[in-house]
Structure 1
Amino acid sequence: MNRTLYALCGADRSRPFSPHVWKTTLSLAHKGLDYDTRAVGFTEIPAIENGATALVPVLRDGDILIRDSFDIALYLEKTYPDKPSLFGGEGGQAMARFIESWSQLTLHLALARIILMDIHDSLAPVDQAFFRTSREHRFGMSLEAVAQTGIEEQKTFAARLEPLRTTLKRQPFIGGETPLFSDYIVFGPLQWARVVSPKRILEPGDPVRDWFERCLDLHDGAGRSVTAA
């Protein structure tokens, strides 16, 4: 095996939490591909592959280096066409682009406010300092102030999932009867919250929670390889 996935972790290197890395983790499992995981903290990312990236995930597959979870999925689809498809054709790829935009604009922004302090508290001290500076610059306020907005965000978060909830009342996965990369796109941020935060994001009986549990069980329970916070 000559395949390495660089994964963002906190102080506990056995607990990768990046939503984008989780998209790639399930994509690799979907394709049935073996790989090694290289755990990195925020401040170690600039040293990956001699400064090849500022973000994770990064996948090295032999002599090929691929950045960005969507680009990795496209690469895996093209390079391993004999393995189960991540998109189910061009229509599935186009659908995944829409799901990616919706997830980034709706789920990631809301969850970031809800779990921001939990992420900070899970990091090693050197990464906590980086995280505070970079996120306070991004949000234009202190982490503590962002966390206060997250209290109200959590109350309304379930309503943001209504389009997904309606879909999952009709079918077991976003991809239909079986999961596709679109499922992994949405799984990523919810797994992010599960791994770093004890806050209850999804209520029992919610079709989205039922779908999330099914996703955790996929590929021999790859999502459950890291326990909930």
Structure 2
Amino acid sequence: MTRILYSLCGADESRPFSPHCWKVVLALRHKQLDFVERPTPFTEIPKLENGFSKTVPILRDGNELIRDSFDIALYLEEAYPDRPTLFAGEGGKALSRFVERFSQTIIHPAIVRIAVADIHDMLGDTDQVYFRKSREAALGRTLEEVKAGRDAEIEAFAAKLEPVRQTLKYQEFLGGDGPLFADYILFGALQWMRITAGTGILAGDDPVASWFERCLDLHDAAGRRVTAA
């Protein structure tokens, strides 16, 4: 049986960048499960698995098809209880839900404002048309107008991670002594920024930067296999 993870890429299939897909990459490796990753451009996603989902990640595990990164993590935890846990109990699930909401309401919007023009430039021609139209409608501005405010967004970015920085004074990972899915959620966001916009946005001596480096090294340095922009 070949386990398949459908993820997101631009014109270069070797540079998958979706934050949600990166959560699942690390979750699968955490569970020590073999899989094949199939990076897919935006406009090809609706054709996957007979139109199963408009977005990725999609995981095919034998006869099972699962969409949404959190649902995939819950599935993996239930389907493979003998493998290393992603949550360490109900408290870990609750923690992960909190981190997911924090990441998607505070961190993701900031990364969009930093990286949206870079993401556009990574895409093939057809996807660029789709991406520009959909993102400009969502943002209410042209990509060029968003890019004009990039430096200010970068300057303000580190402060948004202060709750994480304070937490890391007490422990190596959000999950405690070792990583849990909560770590992979936030890692996915920062990996998205690393691949699309580059590094240097966090200071080298920032505890969050040190945590991120530890996450890049997890599971045979799976996160480092795609280089920074």
Q: Same fold (TM over 0.5)?
A: yes
Partner of 2:3: 3
Partner of 2:68: 68
SS of equivalent to 2:141: coil
1:162 deviation in Å?
0.5
Paired residues of 1:59 and 1:65 also in contact (CA < 8 A): yes
1:149 deviation in Å?
2.9
CA distance in 1, matches of 2:48, 2:163: 38
Q: Give 1:162's aligned amino acid.
A: E
Q: Give 1:33's aligned amino acid.
A: L
Q: Structure 1 residues 116 and 199, CA, compared in 2 at 3 Å: closer, same or farther?
A: farther
Paired residues of 1:4 and 1:38 also in contact (CA < 8 A): yes
Equivalent residue runs for 1:54-133 within 5 Å: 54-133=54-133
Q: Give 2:170's aligned amino acid.
A: R
1:151 deviation in Å?
2.5
Q: Give 1:205's aligned amino acid.
A: D
RMSD: 0.9
Equivalent residue runs for 1:1-229 within 5 Å: 1-198=1-198, 200-229=200-229
Q: Give 2:90's aligned amino acid.
A: E
Q: Give 1:19's aligned amino acid.
A: P
CA distance in 2, matches of 1:2, 1:139: 39
1:10 deviation in Å?
0.8
Q: Deviations over 1:116-172 (max 9, x none)?
A: 111011111111111000100111110111122333211111100111001112211
Q: Which consecutive residues of structure 2, in runs of 5 or more, have no partner in the other structure?
A: none
Give the % identical residues: 60
SS of equivalent to 1:65: strand
Q: Deviations over 1:17-61 (max 9, x none)?
A: 000000000000000000111111011011011111111100000
CA distance in 1, matches of 2:55, 2:175: 27
CA distance in 2, matches of 1:193, 1:104: 13
Paired residues of 1:110 and 1:150 also in contact (CA < 8 A): no
Q: Deviations over 1:191-227 (max 9, x none)?
A: 0011112352211100000000000000010101111
Paired residues of 2:199 and 2:228 also in contact (CA < 8 A): no
SS of equivalent to 2:222: helix
Number of matched residues? Answer: 229
TM-score for both structures, normalised by structure 2: 0.98
